[in-house]
Amino acid sequence: MKLPDPMLAWLEKEAKRAKRPKSAIVREILQKHQKAGPRSALDMAADLCGSVQSGLRDLSYNKKRLRGFGR
């Protein structure tokens, strides 16, 4: 497996710190990723929902503000 130099440096440092082979660390990361399964856009951006204050409380139902939406 080929890795970019910064990623390989991190892997070597982590393997040394954990006193484990690099292959075991890569295997563990891949297994965690596989178990996580696919995520929706909402799942990935859930922490962003509601984080912006527009000051406008009627954006979802005010017909004037919805004019042209989706075009």
Element at 4 (helix H, strand E): none
Q: How far is CA 1 from CA 7, 18, 63, 67, in A?
A: 12, 21, 55, 52
SS3 12: helix
Gyration radius of the chain's alpha carbons:
22
In angstroms, rounded to a whole number, what is the distance separating the alpha carbons of residues 7 and 15?
Answer: 12
What's residue 26's pLDDT? 96
Q: Architecture of 1-36 per CATH?
A: Orthogonal Bundle (1.10)
What's residue 64's pLDDT? 83
Express each pLDDT in 5-64 by its tens digit. Answer: 999 999 999 999 999 999 999 999 999 988 887 788 888 888 887 777 777 777 778 888
At residue 67 the predicted structure's pLDDT band, cuts being 50, 70 and 90, is confident
SS3 70: coil
Ranges of each domain in the chain: 1-36
